[in-house]
Structure 1
Amino acid sequence: MSDAKQIIAQKSAKIAAGAVVCVESEIRGDVTIGARTVVHPKARIIAEAGPIIIGEGNLIEEQALIINSYPENILPDADGAEPKAMTIGTNNVFEVGCVSQALKIGDNNVIESKADLGRNVILTSGCIIGACCQINTCEVVPENTVVYGSNSMRRTQNEKPQPQTLQLDFLMKILPNYHHVKKTVKGSGAPLRN
């Protein structure tokens, strides 16, 4: 993507003060990123079918894809294609290569490497979706659920996953030393390029 195209694509992204968003990430459409959220290089956040609102303290790692797209059987210009907002709560971790199309994600969840969440899934709070697990059904995943194994088996854990505050603090210090980061203007949501 050329620099001019990247600046145009980034125009509607709103990045809160205190968030660290690497320039090498791809953000398209109406995206709001909360404070203390870290977006690694090569992460992709794409809002096609409606806005994406990401809360505070989230960690979005390399090659993670968060996409609010139209369902397969509905075209963008169809009558039934109403924009639906995707909402992601606080302190969630999206690990390397995961894909999330879920329109509602609560707080303190971990979506591990190569995991795949479908559009009709509602992830409550304190859940862990294990590496390479897929959930593409129309369901609400109960709090503190762990999905694991090749058959996506489930169990309930007694405690919520620990928030990644130490890792977030470390990344907020280190990433700007090695990558260009998008900055916000004080009092405005308009991103500037470094």
Structure 2
Amino acid sequence: MAPLRDNLIVGTRVIIAQDADLRGEISVGSGTVIHPKATILALQAPISIGSDCIIEETAVIVNRTSQPIKIGDANLFEVGCRIEAASIGSCNVFEPKSKVAHNVAIGSNCVVGAGCTLLPRPVTDDQLASLFDDEDALESTPEQNGEAETKDKRERVFETLPDRTVVYGSDSRRRVWSGEGAHQQAALHAKHLEYLRDTIPRTHKLKIIQGVRAPPPTSTAAS
């Protein structure tokens, strides 16, 4: 499958720093903030990002499969994380340097701890390196489509991380969060967004949106 043509669709109050790298077919929901040096690559299929998400410096979101990735609302992608999850719910936190493989789907209210790697099964060091290597996808040609299609047959979700799962520790252990403090976390996320919407436009140039803004909801005309 050939790489997608760049097409950016955004909602209202979206902040995207000029030097953020967005490639492929990407939609961004209202209120989302994308920091300088963040990277979003829709290499083979679209990425849809919900409302009020925060994508920090050097965070990377990649879709190298033929299936669209849908990301929910109010997610926080912290510095240096690399996320290829098959789908993501809402109100999740991906802490610095965390990684999520493409064959894991994330529920809602989950936390992937700093430096943790989330995989559906144990892998060798060589397999781990190839899971997060997108050089082949970036340099693919139409002649390689048959190989890509064969590879994609193996790219199915092997695990869905349940809601309120916390991944932590050097060996990426898991536990279930009770949900206590969720309201405080949501309030902190809202304040974080408010601060960023004020600060980033004053300290960084913003990307000029060349794509199409998401249309407002349509109402049925009275008969």
The alignment's TM-score, normalised by the length of structure 2, stands at 0.72
After superposition, what is the alpha-carbon deviation per residue over 1:132-163, rounded to whole angstroms, capped at 9, x for unaligned? Answer: 00112121111101110001111111114722
> Of residues 35, 38, 59 in structure 1, which corresponds to 2:33?
38
Q: Which residue does the alignment assign to 2:143?
A: none
SS in 1 for 2:213: coil
> Of residues 80, 90, 100 in structure 2, which corresponds to 1:117?
100
Q: How far has the Cα of 1:17 moved from its partner?
A: 1.7
After superposition, what is the alpha-carbon deviation per residue over 1:14-54, rounded to whole angstroms, capped at 9, x for unaligned? Answer: 12221100011000000001111000000000001200000
> Rg bigger for which structure?
2
> Quick one: distance in 1 between partners of 2:175 and 2:29?
31
> Of residues 159, 165, 176 in structure 2, which corresponds to 1:139?
159
> Quick one: distance in 1 between partners of 2:89 and 2:38?
20
* Greater CA drift, 19-28 or 150-159: 150-159
8 Å Cα contact 1:17/1:184 also seen in 2: no
Q: Which amino acid aligns with 2:159?
A: E
Matches within 5 A, 1:176-187: 176-184=201-209
Q: Does 1:108 align with 2:91?
A: yes
8 Å Cα contact 1:22/1:40 also seen in 2: yes
Gaps of 5+ in 1: 1-8, 71-82
> Of residues 10, 17, 25 in structure 1, which corresponds to 2:20?
25
> Quick one: distance in 1 between partners of 2:209 and 2:23?
17
Q: Which residue does the alignment assign to 2:77?
A: 94
Q: How far has the Cα of 1:11 moved from its partner?
A: 4.7
Q: Which amino acid aligns with 2:35?
A: H
Number of aligned residue pairs: give it.
169
Q: Which residue does the alignment assign to 1:154?
A: 174
Q: Which amino acid aligns with 2:102?
A: R
CA shift in 2, pair 1:125/1:43, >3 Å: same
Q: How far has the Cα of 1:189 moved from its partner?
A: 2.1
> Quick one: distance in 1 between partners of 2:115 and 2:168?
9
SS in 2 for 1:114: coil
Q: Does 1:189 align with 2:209?
A: no
Q: CA RMSD in A?
A: 2.0
Which runs of at least 4 in structure 1 moved beyond 6 Å after TM superposition?
Answer: none
More strand per residue: 1
SS in 1 for 2:7: coil
Gaps of 5+ in 2: 121-157, 215-223
More helix per residue: 2
